[in-house]
Structure 1
Amino acid sequence: MSTLRDNWRVILLVIGILISTFALFSPTVGSQPAIGEDDSMTNLKYGLQLDGGTRIRAPLVGVTAEEVEFNGDSDRVVEQQVAAQLPDADAADVIARQTAEGSTVEATAENVTTDELSSALDAAGYAHGEVRDGVTETTRTETVRVLESKINEAGLSGGTVQQVTTATGEHFILVEVPNRDRQDVIDLVGERGTVQIDIYYPTSQNGSRVYETREAVLTQADFTSIGTAQEPQTGGGAFVPVSVRDEPARNFQDDVVETGIAQPGGTQCTYMEEGGRNTTEGCLLLVVNGEVVNAFGMSPGLADGMRSGEWANAPSFQLQTLNTSEAQEIAINLRAGALPAKLDLSGEDGGTSSYISPSQGENFKTDSLITGIIAVLAVAGVVFLRYGKPQVALPMIVTGLSEVYILLGFAAAIGYPLDLSVIAGFIAVIGTGVDDLIIIADEVMGEGTVKSRKVFQSRFRRAFWVIGAAAATTIIAMSPLAVLSLGDLQGFAIFTILGVIVGVLVTRPAYGDILQLLLTEDR
């Protein structure tokens, strides 16, 4: 019993190894993949650098005016008034918000400058404060949410989206999707994903037939119960079944009747045909990201339901598309919602994108393993040459490797994706860990052979104070990197700090107990 009590630190190390083994190999752990999933027997997850895939880091397009005075107008009115003063922008490109922290107006259309937004606010009669590049924190958070929904709806398992902030205060959106090439990911996240229904209809003006467009009679917020993309049994094209919310449905029904789309017998739409745009009957236009992707008329039965007002009691219809891929894109956009601001993928403001093939990722895994083995062998050789005693060197190597093994188990337990920065953290942990173990060995053996347990403990405590101070310094130095969203540096810092904590609390004390057991005589 006294032996167990005296060597509880070694027992704690063994328990840590057993828990890590369970986390690494148990099928009940790590069922939800974080980035990529290894095809081996372990529960380790791998980041893009080791598993292959696409990474995109880009800022959001937009400029923001702070401390805007809304003069009692609603957010929607402000958006419309400011958009009317901006070239090539509509209300969807302006975001007005009134919060407890202050009122802001953001212009998210491309190529809008701070001077243009300032002039638009002045022309619309809204006093304001500073106008700066970039968007608000709320817009960045909403963008992350929408992109996560897009990735999930598209079935890209393991994809992640997060905000990252550089040391100079620049904000980026980081998108990582495993096992997908660059163009596929850009096609998914590169557009804002707006979907709306416009009405294109003929009318009379000064006795002549002209066409007008009533825009956004239905927008993404108006749709509900969005079905999956389907192909009609008759073949040709595809469609997405949708339902419309009650109030927008009544408004849409009124617009359709007023513009003559719901005339008896329905309408035949030739908008998409060559020369048909200026001769067609009324059409419903399906507009995605500002472009008309399809146009369709109205069947006699649907037109009758619109005119009688019965359609609004059960408002549903089909969004017709030319092919299945378009229907799938529309379904994804409708479920995820539109991005409040577009990602700037031009690369001019620090945005980057990269693709790592799965084969290259496998090479990185192999190279990382070889690097780790070389590091361990180098440390083992130096330690043995330094002391020449297996009872000192071998426990040092085993204890150092146990520290890395425990960290691997922790990564598997929480599903943290391993990438090259985390591997670098492991190598740093090996180096700092062995440094501390050498300090212990030098302090204990520096004044000659230790035979007394009491003398050993006195020397070990002196060494441990040095190790504790060094550990505190490392944790303080690494903490900002672990807290800030600085991309790869964050993973490096987190696992370096964890390695230091595990070392001080578990592995260094255990090594001290092992040395005491092997070197002292009154054990």
Structure 2
Amino acid sequence: MTSAPLWKRILIGLVCLWGLLGSLPNLFYTQVETHNDAVAAISQAGGVGTPEQEAAAGLWPSWLPSSLMSLGLDLRGGAHLLARVELTDVYKARMDSLWPEVRDALRDIRDQVGAVRRAPSPDGVLRVTLTEPAGMSAAIAAVQALSQPVITLTGVGQSTLNITADGNDMVITLSEAEQRATDDRTMQQSLEIIRNRVDEAGTREPTIQRQGEDRILIQVPGIGSASELKGLIGTTAKLTFHPVVRTTTDAGANAGARNLLLPSREQKGLYYIVEETPVVSGDELVDAQPSFDQNNRPAVSFRFDGTGARKFGDYTAANIGAPFAIVLDGEVISAPVIQSHIAGGSGIITGSFTVEDSTELAVLLRAGALPAKMDFLEERTIGPELGADSISAGKTAAVIGLVAVAAYMIASYGMFGTFAVMALAVNLLLIIAILSAIGATLTLPGIAGIVLTMGMAVDANVLIFERVREELRAGLSPGRSLDAGFERAFSAIFDSQITGLLVAVIMFFIGSGTVRGFAVTTSIGIITSMFTAVYVTRLIIELWFGWRRPKTIVV
């Protein structure tokens, strides 16, 4: 039998060793998880930890891999919610906040339009009645000046408002492009708020993702119940605007009486000392949108309600040239300098922004509260006992599957079946190591994918061994039969595995949730089974053949 080059043998051996070491932490899951949490806490504290954290960090050797497969909701227990965001609430809020601006704009041309009043209209529609309909064109032109360009790639060249005449009434709605942009911003904002709330609670590996046009899937392992998760999501973020006293890089600096030391979200290591009493709070912020400044550079415009506008106007008039801090949940997200007196409650934040940066900052500014009502369509609590039962059932299924496959292969192919089983064990280790390395979340369907892969993994060995039998019947020597079996079966193995991999990839891209988990483990299993069946099995047989040098073989 032709021996593989030494470099190839070494490479295959190193991959197998990596699989063993990479999967090892999962045998000591709780111990390694505690170690990882302690290391992360010490790192976040600047390398200084408590005695308890130091002891926890010592539970696992630092020179060994410590990556774990994250356990999904069905294995760890926790809460599952499916929420629908009422996007029409945002349209209504936009029209409500637009009415004072429209009224002020029409006040300047009262001699043409007469008296104006807001007429009853559906949510998301602003209907304004003019007593002088002859001035409708002038009114539309005046209100059109309030419209802004839509800040999206697909909405280039379009305005945010549609303004039409209906008898004595002027009807104002958001344009179709702005509605799409508003929907995207609302969903992005909702995701950001939910993620902030969940992360703040110290939960582990949550799944928070958009589904369809207006739904959000929230799965949080380790939390007590769905009602607890709903209460957590409903918490309002704290957004405030503070005068800046000074900045520092000293995390332990003395802020002084009635001051706060707050970290910068944008620049790690930078801290702001701000006055404890805010100038204005996020409760008084009406809106924040991405826009452009007078030099056509991306910026963020914002607007306060009447009370906030008055307080903010008085402060900016008295503090031109001074910075003020925008604080979200105890972090300074921006600290612009006041350029001029900002009257009317509207202002603009400029800086070295891209369009994406300005959009993100606008989202953060609006992230003080959920932008729209959320209806929970589905809620489910999975207890930790059920999760433990699922893990136990998964282990049992995996062991039964492995034993059944091993028994069949040994009964059918004898010693060569044993070699295939050894390669199958390496395959299982590689799957676990890869899932741990990429931080994949293991779910029950994922376990099903692993069990299915174990059955599929020996298909390649069956093709190889049956081909070796044919070559032996044709009169070839044992060594040449083994070479021919591996070489001539490869094309059939490759074709069969590629078709399975294509199906798994399609499932990953068009599926969601547990379907994608199944697709991930199946895809990894197909790739590793190709490696172990073709290369690991051959290396084992090569080593055995070189050691025993048999005159005849029975496959």
* TM-score scaled by length of structure 2: 0.56
Report what 2:385 is aligned to: 359
> How many positions carry a matched residue from both structures?
384
| Letter aligned with residue 152 of structure 2 | T
| Letter aligned with residue 161 of structure 1 | I
| Letter aligned with residue 172 of structure 1 | R
Report what 2:463 is aligned to: 439
Report what 1:501 is aligned to: 527
CA–CA separation in structure 1 for the residues paired with 2:312 and 2:182: 40
Is the 8 Å Cα contact of residues 46 and 419 (structure 1) preserved in structure 2? yes
**In the alignment, which of 32, 36, 43 is matched to residue 31 of structure 1?**
36
Is the 8 Å Cα contact of residues 29 and 413 (structure 1) preserved in structure 2? no
CA–CA separation in structure 1 for the residues paired with 2:76 and 2:419: 34
Q: Deviations over 1:295-324 (max 9, x none)?
A: xxxxxxxxxx99x989xx9999xxxxxxxx
Shift of 1:431: 1.5
CA spacing shift, 1:473–1:337, aligned 2, 3 Å: same
Q: Percent of aligned positions with the same letter in both sequences? A: 20
**In the alignment, which of 198, 207, 219 is matched to residue 176 of structure 1?**
219
Is the 8 Å Cα contact of residues 471 and 481 (structure 2) preserved in structure 1? no
| Letter aligned with residue 59 of structure 1 | R
Q: Deviations over 1:219-278 (max 9, x none)?
A: x475799989xxxxxxxxxxxx652369989984884799xxxxxxxxxxxxxxxxxxxx
Report what 2:190 is aligned to: 143
Q: 1:159 and 2:206 equivalent?
A: yes
| Letter aligned with residue 146 of structure 1 | I
Q: Secondary structure at the match of 2:209?
A: strand
CA–CA separation in structure 2 for the residues paired with 1:84 and 1:415: 56
CA–CA separation in structure 1 for the residues paired with 2:385 and 2:81: 20
Report what 2:54 is aligned to: none
CA–CA separation in structure 1 for the residues paired with 2:425 and 2:535: 15
Report what 2:22 is aligned to: 20
Report what 2:401 is aligned to: 375
CA spacing shift, 1:334–1:224, aligned 2, 3 Å: farther
Report what 1:186 is aligned to: 230
Report what 2:359 is aligned to: none
CA spacing shift, 1:148–1:455, aligned 2, 3 Å: same
CA spacing shift, 1:157–1:250, aligned 2, 3 Å: same
Report what 2:85 is aligned to: 60
Shift of 1:358: 0.8
Is the 8 Å Cα contact of residues 227 and 242 (structure 1) preserved in structure 2? no
Report what 1:464 is aligned to: 490
CA–CA separation in structure 2 for the residues paired with 1:50 and 1:243: 45
Report what 1:448 is aligned to: 472
Q: 1:423 and 2:447 equivalent?
A: yes
Q: Deviations over 1:445-470 (max 9, x none)?
A: 24437644333222211211111111
CA spacing shift, 1:358–1:79, aligned 2, 3 Å: farther
- Cα root mean square deviation, aligned: 5.1
Q: Secondary structure at the match of 2:388?
A: helix
Alignment of 1:504-519 (within 5 A): 504-518=530-544
Is the 8 Å Cα contact of residues 223 and 334 (structure 1) preserved in structure 2? no
Q: Deviations over 1:345-371 (max 9, x none)?
A: 1x2xxxx22110011111111111111
Report what 1:403 is aligned to: 427
CA–CA separation in structure 2 for the residues paired with 1:254 and 1:335: 16
Is the 8 Å Cα contact of residues 368 and 423 (structure 1) preserved in structure 2? yes
Shift of 1:77: 3.4
CA spacing shift, 1:257–1:458, aligned 2, 3 Å: closer
Is the 8 Å Cα contact of residues 456 and 516 (structure 1) preserved in structure 2? no
CA–CA separation in structure 1 for the residues paired with 2:159 and 2:455: 50
Shift of 1:132: 9.3
Q: Deviations over 1:82-106 (max 9, x none)?
A: 9986557899xxx995433125879
| Letter aligned with residue 243 of structure 1 | P
Shift of 1:127: 8.0
CA spacing shift, 1:51–1:135, aligned 2, 3 Å: farther
Q: Secondary structure at the match of 2:410?
A: helix
CA–CA separation in structure 2 for the residues paired with 1:58 and 1:415: 26
Structure with more contact order per residue of length (Cα contacts < 8 Å, sep ≥ 6): 1
CA–CA separation in structure 2 for the residues paired with 1:132 and 1:138: 10
CA–CA separation in structure 2 for the residues paired with 1:79 and 1:400: 71
Report what 1:243 is aligned to: 278
CA spacing shift, 1:493–1:128, aligned 2, 3 Å: same
Is the 8 Å Cα contact of residues 45 and 416 (structure 1) preserved in structure 2? yes
CA–CA separation in structure 2 for the residues paired with 1:314 and 1:7: 64
CA spacing shift, 1:159–1:58, aligned 2, 3 Å: same
Is the 8 Å Cα contact of residues 87 and 183 (structure 2) preserved in structure 1? no
Q: Which moved more, 1:491-500 or 1:139-148?
A: 139-148
CA–CA separation in structure 2 for the residues paired with 1:422 and 1:79: 55
| Letter aligned with residue 279 of structure 2 | V
Is the 8 Å Cα contact of residues 222 and 248 (structure 1) preserved in structure 2? no
Alignment of 1:484-495 (within 5 A): 484=510, 486-495=512-521
Is the 8 Å Cα contact of residues 406 and 421 (structure 2) preserved in structure 1? yes
CA spacing shift, 1:514–1:344, aligned 2, 3 Å: same
**In the alignment, which of 153, 174, 178 is matched to residue 100 of structure 1?**
153
Alignment of 1:213-362 (within 5 A): 220=239, 222=241, 243-244=278-279, 252=307, 255=310, 337-345=368-376, 347=377, 352-362=378-388
Q: 1:49 and 2:70 equivalent?
A: no
Is the 8 Å Cα contact of residues 482 and 489 (structure 1) preserved in structure 2? yes
Shift of 1:146: 1.6
Q: Secondary structure at the match of 1:394?
A: helix
CA–CA separation in structure 1 for the residues paired with 2:16 and 2:443: 27
Structure 1: gaps of 5 or more residues: 34-39, 67-72, 107-118, 196-219, 229-240, 259-304, 317-332
Q: Which moved more, 1:5-14 or 1:362-371?
A: 5-14
Q: Secondary structure at the match of 2:36?
A: coil
CA spacing shift, 1:396–1:252, aligned 2, 3 Å: same
Q: Deviations over 1:415-436 (max 9, x none)?
A: 3221112111111211111222
CA–CA separation in structure 2 for the residues paired with 1:105 and 1:447: 74
Shift of 1:493: 0.7
Q: Secondary structure at the match of 1:56?
A: strand
CA–CA separation in structure 2 for the residues paired with 1:48 and 1:470: 33
Is the 8 Å Cα contact of residues 79 and 380 (structure 2) preserved in structure 1? yes
Structure 2: gaps of 5 or more residues: 39-58, 61-65, 104-117, 127-146, 245-258, 262-275, 282-301, 326-363, 551-555
CA–CA separation in structure 2 for the residues paired with 1:498 and 1:504: 10
Report what 1:323 is aligned to: none
Q: Secondary structure at the match of 1:137?
A: helix
Q: Deviations over 1:110-135 (max 9, x none)?
A: xxxxxxxxx9xx96334855999997
